[in-house]
Structure 1
Amino acid sequence: MFQNVNPATGQKLDEIAEMDDAAVESALARADAMWRQWRISTLEDRTALLSHIGDAFEGNKHRLAEIATREMGKTLKSAVAEVEKCVAAFRHYAEHGPEFLESFEVQVAKGRAIGRWLPIGPVLAVMPWNFPYWQVVRFLAPAIMAGNVGLLKHASITQGVGAAIEDMVLKGGAPEGLFQNLPVKSGKVADIIADRRVAAVTLTGSEGAGQKVAEAAGRALKKVVLELGGSDPFIVMPSADIDEAAKQAVTARIQNTGQSCICGKRMIVHADIYDAFAEKFVAGMKAVKADDPMHDETDMGPLSSFEQRDTVLDQIERAKQAGATLLCGGAKLDKPGAYMSAGVLTDVPPESDIAKEEIFGPVAMLFKVPDIDAAIALANDIPYGLGSSVWTKDAAEQERFERDIAAGMTAVNQMLASTPEAPFGGVKLSGHGRELGPWGMHEFMNLKSVLLND
């Protein structure tokens, strides 16, 4: 049984029953049977279905957003925006999916070879709570377009979202079994991965979860894509627009109450403009309003749970014990719910454990560096490599950052964000493989070589 709590109020939500072994078996049988049909469906059928599912999401976006807000605390306005982003993804793959699946031809020593993209079967997605719609849809839309079918193991605290996604897929006209939400707990994931009917697995989540899923996939010799944590650098150089950089740094750090893998977490600022940036950034963080996520004027809601808030507060204390200074915020708020104020840490020893961790909450670490070499070295001196944001108007500096920051993504003079068109993923302990664009679709397809001698 799943028993969740609204993190904004502390009140219990409806209980959701866990799927038993017999129900899991039935779901896997349906997925296998449906794949055998869907794999030979026409591109026209696939694109039409994606468009209709997008319409279902759009027509129900406010109801869907309210479910996410109740379950994990993000502001209602940001939840609506997340659903709208899902609509864009469905429509992107409906429009461009056929071209992503086009065969190609190469000349070989004798004759020619044709490369064909073919589906591989049911794909299991193990997904987190922080962007509970978007992180599912960025797997699901390309999976449907590819001719695969989807199975979802959603986070324990967002079971209502998982059920709602399945409902929207069915409302869009999908045949039964094309996408199924499996309300199971983590202990059953390895057995599902091992089942011969599951072709591959994708996970977005923590490093620990990634290790367990990768181990299970490895034992079964199945393809796995992992998008894990990150502690993204947000680097500001003297030529940057300081006002805009400071403004975007605040947005990056507090979006989704700081619970985003790719929001800037370590603000690395050149010494020449450090004081000016720090003043603006701290002022912006102090002005952040943490309140009821249902209200339009709220900047950020509670953290996803009381446990998550306590984890962040503990990280702040450990940073202070290591020698860091808390410039503002970073405290529990005196109201019901898992609220805390936005905080800024400075003087964090770069060699300390906390400097290399991901703080999954609205707390930034602020570092001063003397030059670009030091900025890049500090940016890379962590085990993660997901995203990065760099602020400079100097073309040579931009080239250095693009080439030398060890990350899967770098945004220049803007806050990093995912988009359906561009590849998404990381290096080092941030995982491997890519989502979105044609690359995310191709991760779970068989690129078959057809050799012809004509």
Structure 2
Amino acid sequence: MALAVGVWEKNKPMPKFFKSLNPYTQEIVGEYMEASPIQIEVKLEWAQMAQRDWAARSFNDRATCFEHLAQYLREHKAELALIMTQEMGKILPESLGEIEKCAAQCIHYAQHAESLLQPENIPTDAKESGVSYEPVGIVLAIMPWNFPFWQVFRYAVPALMAGNVTMLKHAPNVFGCAVAIETAFRAAGFPEGVFQTLIADVDAIQSLVADDRIGMITLTGSERAGASLAALAGSHIKKTVLELGGNDALIVLPDADLDKAAAAAVQSRMMNAGQVCIAAKRFLVHQDVKAAFTEKVLHLIQNLKQGDPLDPATKLGPLARLDLAETLERQLQKALAQGATLLCGGQRNGCNFQPTLLDNVQPDSIAFKEETFGPLAAITTVASEQEAIKLANQSRYGLSAAIWTQDLYKAKILAHQLEVGSVFVNAVVRSDSRLPIGGVKKSGYGRELSEAGIKDFCIVKAHYIN
């Protein structure tokens, strides 16, 4: 069923080419030709045909494919991680860890999907009644560049284990990762059409959203992209799952273990060069421990080695694109103009942005109100735990939050007051196949991972038999 990449309709404009640049060296690492409307139509037909067969297969058959995929990922971990690092600048140990996390995701749902989607018997006045969970069909996915493998596997594994097939439109700067992922699915023995990559731009996505063969759409990206997609999908009565921006708060109370809290704060904020939706971006620190906490964080940040992401000693790589680094630089300059104090960092050289720590960040500061997607941490002093909760909730986003305190009873009470999708106590916020992930407010809706995540890619069907 292979379609030649070079095929193009006669009398049509010349195709567009996408280039992926190594953000550290600015060298071209790949060029990819945009799919034509005919190629996209063929992919849709393949997906539609494949989905009927795939949905009819047993959970065991699907699980076997994912077990083979996990094996493939682990056997090819080094080469896949290298593609990721070269395309978006993630340091190599983080890329290797991301591939391993994808493999673990495959195994998790291979083992648990059938039990998670078991039909439920619900007593009514009928002889038999209940609920079943059935595939929606073709899932169109629009994924970001910051975790170019994990973001895909996060939705695709549960979606496909539920009997769906998927078409992936990845970010243009990581099309090499997208092609490598499709290659991995094919090598693992998935039928043609179950997982397909689209080398396409936004215009093609608009027509796909309108196509009746697309069952639902999932997007991880910016607030602006999510709002646009939701409006378009809504006009065609299409279900969406959206994971959008985050401006997560990390609350440090007076009884916190400051060494652990500071280490977690720096890890959360600086991981992946700060390009993490669920990173702690606002440090809300009680005035009694603010000086000590700030000193510890400053020391850790100043000792981060920045440089070549292929160098094993490097702890902080470049931002993924030049425009992202320039945006962060503008946000920093505005924050300083609004009264924030620069404690370290702040310099940019191309895509390389020094790890930066700001103090005295007020609630009206851009560094407090907006999502800063890069290695920039902002400290705000609070006088009480209730002020911390109030300021944490004083955001249009609501993805996740962290609380650091040794009083777990208090932490549980405060956790319920936070307007977010996830709360972690004395731990770095992270995604876990066993727990749902997703946001509230402008951070989106719907869930991925866990039981809630796989069921969000299903039709919930009621059965009543008398």
Place the TM-score, normalised by the shorter chain, in its bin. Answer: over 0.9
Task: Give the distance between the partners of 2:396 and 2:141, measured in 1 at CA.
Answer: 24
- Counterparts in 2 of 1:276 and 1:354: CA distance versus 1, 3 Å: closer
* Aligned residue among 296, 310, 332 for 1:280: 296
Q: How does 1:321-360 map to 2 (within 5 A)?
A: 321-333=337-349, 337-360=350-373
Give the match's secondary structure for 1:388: strand
Residue 242 of structure 1 corresponds to: 258
Identity of aligned residues (%): 40
Give the match's secondary structure for 2:167: strand
* Aligned residue among 233, 240, 260 for 2:276: 260
- The one-letter amino acid of 1:438's match is E
Task: Give the distance between the partners of 1:273 and 1:162, measured in 2 at CA.
Answer: 45
Q: Are residue 401 (structure 1) and residue 414 (structure 2) matched?
A: yes
Q: How does 1:67-216 map to 2 (within 5 A)?
A: 67-216=83-232
Q: Please state how far the C-alpha of 1:353 moved relative to its aligned partner.
A: 3.8
Contact 1:140 1:150 in 2 (8 A): yes
Task: Give the distance between the partners of 1:19 and 1:118, measured in 2 at CA.
Answer: 31
Residue 63 of structure 1 corresponds to: 79
Contact 2:437 2:449 in 1 (8 A): yes
Residue 11 of structure 2 corresponds to: none
Task: Give the distance between the partners of 2:194 and 2:291, measured in 1 at CA.
Answer: 55
Residue 375 of structure 2 corresponds to: 362
Contact 2:301 2:355 in 1 (8 A): yes
Residue 446 of structure 2 corresponds to: 433
Task: Give the distance between the partners of 1:391 and 1:220, measured in 2 at CA.
Answer: 44
Give the match's secondary structure for 2:462: strand
Contact 2:335 2:367 in 1 (8 A): yes
Q: Please state how far the C-alpha of 1:114 moved relative to its aligned partner.
A: 2.3
Give the match's secondary structure for 2:342: strand
Residue 18 of structure 1 corresponds to: 34
- The one-letter amino acid of 2:396's match is P
Q: TM (normalized to structure 2)?
A: 0.95
Q: Please state how far the C-alpha of 1:280 moved relative to its aligned partner.
A: 0.5
Give the match's secondary structure for 2:400: coil
Q: Please state how far the C-alpha of 1:306 moved relative to its aligned partner.
A: 1.2
Q: How many residues align?
A: 450
Contact 1:7 1:70 in 2 (8 A): yes
Task: Give the distance between the partners of 1:327 and 1:409, measured in 2 at CA.
Answer: 30
Task: Give the distance between the partners of 2:336 and 2:267, measured in 1 at CA.
Answer: 24
Contact 2:334 2:366 in 1 (8 A): no
Q: Which moved more, 1:344-353 or 1:239-248?
A: 344-353
Residue 381 of structure 1 corresponds to: 394
- The one-letter amino acid of 2:370's match is E
Q: TM (normalized to structure 1)?
A: 0.98
Contact 2:361 2:368 in 1 (8 A): yes
Q: Please state how far the C-alpha of 1:217 moved relative to its aligned partner.
A: 0.9
Q: Are residue 412 (structure 1) and residue 425 (structure 2) matched?
A: yes
Q: Please state how far the C-alpha of 1:111 moved relative to its aligned partner.
A: 2.5
Write the deviation string for residues 99-152 of structure 1: whole angstroms up to 9, x where unpaired: 012111011023231211111100011000000000000111011110000110
Contact 2:362 2:380 in 1 (8 A): no
Task: Give the distance between the partners of 1:360 and 1:187, measured in 2 at CA.
Answer: 26
Q: How does 1:278-317 map to 2 (within 5 A)?
A: 278-317=294-333
Write the deviation string for residues 4-28 of structure 1: whole angstroms up to 9, x where unpaired: 2110111122211111111001001
Give the match's secondary structure for 2:284: strand
Give the match's secondary structure for 2:18: coil
Q: Please state how far the C-alpha of 1:401 moved relative to its aligned partner.
A: 2.1
Contact 1:387 1:416 in 2 (8 A): yes
Q: Please state how far the C-alpha of 1:395 moved relative to its aligned partner.
A: 2.8
Task: Give the distance between the partners of 2:75 and 2:156, measured in 1 at CA.
Answer: 19
Residue 242 of structure 2 corresponds to: 226
Please, what is the CA RMSD of the aligned residues?
1.0
Contact 1:372 1:397 in 2 (8 A): no
- The one-letter amino acid of 2:382's match is V
Q: How does 1:31-46 map to 2 (within 5 A)?
A: 31-46=47-62
Residue 5 of structure 2 corresponds to: none
Task: Give the distance between the partners of 1:285 and 1:224, measured in 2 at CA.
Answer: 38
Runs of 4+ aligned residues of structure 1 deviating over 4 Å after TM superposition are none
- The one-letter amino acid of 1:181's match is T
Task: Give the distance between the partners of 1:110 and 1:181, measured in 2 at CA.
Answer: 45
